[in-house]
Structure formats: structure tokens, C-alpha cells
Chain A
Amino acid sequence: MKMKGVSQLVPSKKKISVKVNGKVYQRNAEVRQNLADFLREELDLTGTHIGCEHGACGACTILFDGQSVRSCLMFAVQANGAEITTVEGLSQGNQLHPLQESFWECHALQCGYCTPGFLLTLVPFLRNRPDPSEEEIRKAISGNLCRCTGYQNIVIAVLKFIQKYKGKWETDTSEQP
């Protein structure tokens, strides 16, 4: 009897349908491709950055059904049927998301590599806790590494954002997030 090779037993590609930033994409995803690579390489959404590829730096953070997740720790096929927001989905064309605006005003980024991860960690955090203390903010972003800012201006940006919007930023932008 002839044995089947592993490649014949396991399909190397799987058709998935995923809604990213409000748009539905259908792609044949390589089963071992992680979600971060899928977003960048298959969907050309290169705003999601890849730092450590093992969930320690937070650069690849995205919103997965409204929650912050590290897209390098998921397979693309796991996203089948999910709703994803990447940093590209935060702004409306040239109109920055209020939190991005605050980052910009407070010089909360330098090289910008970690910024998408910080933003997408902070958006659901601020949705759940509209008025956090500085300590709570620091804890919330403790899973994101930044080597330029020393985190100080990121914290200042969040504090300014809170001061300015007082939890009302969601009603300003009717669309998610």
C-alpha cells in the first residue's frame, strides 16, 4: 500500500473570509501563515508592524472583534469570519482618529514603529475605562515596547486625549472603532 505524503493529507491553503476595516476580503490563506503576515502580505495593510514575532513587543497589535490581540500570535485561518481593525481603519481618510491626533500633538512617537500597536492597545482600553489614572495608563501599555519615547509623551498624549474628549470621542465618530 502506498502511503500518502503529509502534504497531501494537510491542505496547505484554506479559503477564509475576513472583514478588515469594514471591507470583506476573501483569500486563500496559507495555513501556517500568521495573521500579521497575512494582513501585510496578502492584504497590503502594512500599517501593522512586526517586531519580535513572539508576542513580547506589541507592535503587531490589532483589534480582533473589538479586542486587542497580537496578530503575530494568531494564524490567519483563525481569523475566518472575524472583524478586524488595523491602524489603517482608525483614521477616516486624512482625518486622524482623535487619539492619533493627540499622539501627533504631544510628540508621542519618534520612529513610529511601535505606534500602531500602542494605538490599538489604547483604543479598547479607553473605551472600557474612559478616565484612567496615569498609573492605569502605564499598566495598560506595559505590554507594548517603545525604544524612542521613554513612554512619557505617550502617557501625556493619552492624558491630554482624556482631558479633551472626556469619554465622548466614540459618539463623535459614528463608525467603529
Chain B
Amino acid sequence: MLTTSYLTYLLPTACEVPSVHIEHLEIPSSLNPIGVRGAGELGTIGAPAAVANAIEDVLLSFGVRIREFPLTQDLEARFGCNFVTLRHRCMRR
């Protein structure tokens, strides 16, 4: 092995990495009704955080900050809001 540490395996640093402009290219799959494609081997770390962020977003005016999982039905009690309001907010979006 020639590259056994970060000193010999040269990772790109801020000086080497160019500025990148990201664009989305959407080509829906024709193999299923909603056009989704698989994205293999993704970790599961992001998904719960995304759900938590979505709920925080909906409950923005309540100042809810979710820091713990699971998100059980006592959400209402935990954050002092009620689901009727929550549902109305969701539907408006």
C-alpha cells in the first residue's frame, strides 16, 4: 500500500476543489406510475432528520424544535399544540 494515511493519500483541500454549480436533471422513469427511480445504498441517517425538519417547518409558529426520536403521538403534549391546527396547516401547503 502506498497510501496508508492522510499524509500520503492526498485528499483535495479547499485550495484544489473548484466552485461547482449544481443543476438538477430530471428524467422520470417510465417503469412506474410516479416516475421515481431507485437511489441505491443510501444511509438512513438523513430520513428521520428530514421528517423532523418537515414537522419543525409546519410548526414554525409554535417554535417547535425536535431533537429526539421516536416522534410518538404525544407530540401534542410535548410541544403544547394540537393536531387539528397541525392538520389545517398541512392541508394549506
User: Do A and B originate from a single complex?
Assistant: yes
Residues of A within 8 A of B (CB): 52, 54, 56-57, 137-139, 141-147, 150-152, 154-155
Cα A146 to Cα B6 with chains together (Å) = 12
Residue tally, chain B, CB below 8 Å to A: 10
A142 touches B6 (CB 8 A): no
Determine if A142 and B13 form an interchain contact, defined as CB atoms under 8 angstroms apart. yes
Interface string of B39-81 (1 = CB under 8 A from A): 0000000000000000000000000000000000000000000
- Kindly provide the distance from the CB of B77 to the nearest chain A CB, expressed in whole angstroms: 23
Q: In the complex, how many angstroms separate the beta carbon of B79 from the nearest chain A beta carbon?
A: 17
B interface SS class:
loop
Bound CA–CA A142/B16 (angstroms)? 9
* Interface positions of B (Cβ within 8 A of A): 5-7, 11, 13-15, 17, 19-20
Check A54–B15 contact: CB distance below 8 A: no
Contacts of A138 in B (CB 8 A): 14-15
Report A-chain residues with C-beta under 8 Å of the C-beta of B14. 137-139, 141-142, 144, 146, 151, 154-155
CB contacts (< 8 Å) of B6 on chain A: these are 52, 54, 56-57, 145
Closest to A140 in B: B14
A56: which of B5, B15, B19, B20 is its contact (CB, 8 Å)? Answer: B5
Which of A54, A142, A152 makes the CB contact (< 8 A) with B7?
Answer: A54
Report yes or no: B15 in contact with A142, Cβ–Cβ below 8 A. Answer: yes
CB distance from A155 to the nearest CB of B (A): 7
Given contacts A142-B13, A142-B15, contact A152 B5 (CB under 8 A): no
B13, B14, B17, B20 pick with most chain A CB within 10 angstroms: B14
Chain A min CB distance to B60 (Å)? 16
